[in-house]
Amino acid sequence: MKQAYFRAMDAINGACLFIAGACLVIITLIVPYGVFTRYVLNSAASWPEPLAVLLMIVLSFLSAVVCYREHLHIGVGILPALLAEPWKSVLGWLLEIGMLATNLFMVVWGIKLVDVTWHQSIAEFPLVTAGMTYLPIPVGGALTVLFVIERLLTQDFFQQPEPDTVSQISTE
């Protein structure tokens, strides 16, 4: 059962990475188009900048989810390194419970925010509502909750750096 859950989390992580990468590529393509139409054609397109902002929101939340799962987020490793094993695990559990509470807050209040703003339109995109633009908040929170559960199941709280990522240059 656990292995099926871990495989599902691998698939979700891959999907988040793919969507975030696609957002980055699209942003990279539409921003120069907006600059071209504004400064070369003297007829600014109204949609590239707001679309880039919306895609950046999706990119940010999904990238944060991926970084959390892959232990790429910023963390202070001094305290866990100083603690003996039983206390190190206790600290890991406390940190993950804090992450769980934070992301459940994002899910609950994010859904309420999406619900309240669902029928407010955006001038640049009449078919997109303000509520749709807030969807990355509860979605990102829910995905992170799934990854917190995975980390609690594996108890892999403080991952050590991989040998390939550590510099082999001698400082002698």
pLDDT band at 163 (very low <50, low <70, confident <90, very high): low
The per-residue pLDDT for 101 is: 97
What mean pLDDT comes out for the span 83-111? 93
Instruction: Mention every residue, 6+ apart, whose C-beta is less than 8 A from residue 99.
Output: 68, 144, 148
- Chain centroid to CA 63: 4
Q: Tokens standing for 52?
A: 């880039």
CA distances from residue 127 to 60, 88, 118 in whole angstroms, order as listed: 23, 50, 11
The per-residue pLDDT for 93 is: 92
CA-angle at 144, arms to 139 and 149, nearest 5°: 130
The per-residue pLDDT for 159 is: 76
Q: Using DSSP, state whether 115 is helix, strand or coil.
A: helix
pLDDT band at 124 (very low <50, low <70, confident <90, very high): confident
pLDDT band at 80 (very low <50, low <70, confident <90, very high): confident
pLDDT band at 167 (very low <50, low <70, confident <90, very high): low
Q: Within 10 A of 138 (CB to CB), how many other CB atoms are there?
A: 21
- Chain centroid to CA 153: 21
